[in-house]
Structure 1
Amino acid sequence: MRILVTGGAGFIGSNFIRHLLATEPSCRVVNLDKLTYAGNLENLADVERDPRYRFVKGSICDATLVDELLKEEFDALMNFAAESHVDRSIQDARAFVETNVLGTQVILEACRRHRIPRMVQVSTDEVYGSLGPSGRFTEESPLRPNSPYAASKAAADLLAAAYFRTYGLPVIVTRSSNNYGPHQFPEKVIPLFITNALVGEPLPLYGDGLYVRDWLHVQDHCEALALILKNGVSGEIYNIGGNCEWANIDVARFILRILGKPDALIAHVKDRLGHDRRYALDTSKLEQALGWSPRIPFETGLTKTVGWYRGHMTWWTRIKEGAYREYYQQTYGDLSHASQ
């Protein structure tokens, strides 16, 4: 099987490529990635010399490049390429619309022209919007995105559905809950908390910290995606969740407990605009149709993730300098006087 993975130098994409190469000996993977600030070829250093793997630098918005690549007769395309950080989308939404909407349309159209047998559009639970204190989103829940990021992903999902219904393109949409694990860019909440705690810096916590997320280890996500790639039904949507809800403040406290750091490192900061209160996914469709369920308990996965960041300080300390430091200060303000 020959698979084109877009956005494969990012967090989930790189984990998926490593998973494919480890579990599918006959698989051949081409990784198309623009290498924006969050794309990092170090994420794939352990497979870069594998003859089954090839990297191509470029954007999914480049229709000519995408078209030329798809002339290679791939069996499937997995679209991970996306601008994905909510805070950045609030500050400047343009890149999110360009990559997540226009870029997805470029891919869909190229897949249609070249009759790609399968495309998987990797999306997010954030397209559903915010939940109250009870219930879970199903695949039939209405799309009510609240951030520019979520709106751009919802638009991409709708385009995928339109290409299936109008052209018969064999596309599947997946929507996962919050991922965590190794190689995640440290602007996201779990690696941000871990890396700050490791060097004794405050953990910036939005608002009251009671925002609830359903956490899914990236390895569980990759296993679900591989299963959907093989056995999923075209035109369907599959929720992929961890069935593991934690409030952000409890995640922060657990990380501090793992590292033996005081809760006083938690610094409450001004709340995010349009902050969704709770996400939770009903994953019964995927479990019943394909037999998938998450395997990694959150406490176990988070403890191992802390260990990974502790053992790869060179990787993330380099990332958190320069332009990232300016972005961090712009987002959270001056935390130098936070209690420690």
Structure 2
Amino acid sequence: MDRRPGLSIRLKLTLSYAGFLMVAGVLMLVTAWLFLTRVRHIGLVFVPDYRLAVARDFAPLAATSLSFLLVFGLGGGWLLAGRMLAPLNSITHATRTAADGSLSHRIRLPGRQEEFRELADAFDTMLARLEAHVGEQQRFAANASHELRTPLAATKALLDVARADPGRPADPLLDRLHTVNTRAIDLIEALLLLSRAGQGSFAREDVDLSLVAEEAAEMLLPLAEKNGVTLETDGDIAPTTGSPALLLQLTTNLVHNAIVHNLPEHGSVRVTTGVRPGTVTLTVENTGEPVSPELVSRLTEPFQRGTERVHTDHPGVGLGLAIVRSITRAHHGILTLTPRPAGGLRVTVELPAGTTPPRHL
């Protein structure tokens, strides 16, 4: 939710403390003024014009006292508010960490039981349950996928033998079964990759996104030529840290989607890499049919496709962008999908910058 910027809680508490202190000081000084002006002597010395003397001597003292109270109230209030709100900063940091996909972080706020610590403990309990639930789902998907690989591989082998038998007449049913079996195998492999990326269990090393983009483009160039799509790569060296295999899969998925979801003819795909302060970017932009913002917001969900027109004999399983999102999150990156005004899509992956890697994968 977008909100207008406002004063921080710490500043509000500081102003409240200082304001309360100032009001108390004013009341104290007014009380002293009333007392002094009703008495006809100051100390033990009688002063004929006592009101003038009181005003002359009391006003500077009152101004100095109020100034001191204001400075003291602001400084003390700022320190007290910061100390009181320190647990809230820890809770905010944990919330942002969880929002980035890391459910293993815990606040573990020390100290005795009070409101902030009750909130922190409740948040830790929620994170533990979420982590257990997500881990259970990932393990189930991985185990189910592993169990399905063996019968699908056996079925594929039998179908390949039957199709290669020279003495067997051509049977369109075998070709259909082979296509369905291939799609099922691809789906299982995609689910395994999605589970692996979601768990974040991979070794990290230096990777240059520009080299990854070149390798993905070279791999998919025959597909682009087959569909009449111009494929271009450009950009600077973009060093980051992560899994070379997963980042290559991410880039391959993006380029593959950009090729197959394109114009019927004379389409184009442009892959660029860049460097920003603290981050590196990979951008894949393609021509194509107009894509509504509502559809773009759902494209990263599993089994979603951007258009029914797919220019390839094997349209995929609908997990391409879901895998891209999972890999991006596992690398602590940001995935942005933007529809192009002339049609097509612009996808940008922003990852934390790393050291410059050697010029090889």
* TM-score bracket relative to the smaller structure: under 0.3
TM-score norm. by structure 1 comes to 0.23
Q: Considering Cα pairs closer than 8 Å and 6+ residues apart, tell me whether 1 or 2 has the greater RCO.
A: 1
Larger fraction in helix: 2
Give the number of the structure whose alpha-carbon radius of gyration is greater.
2
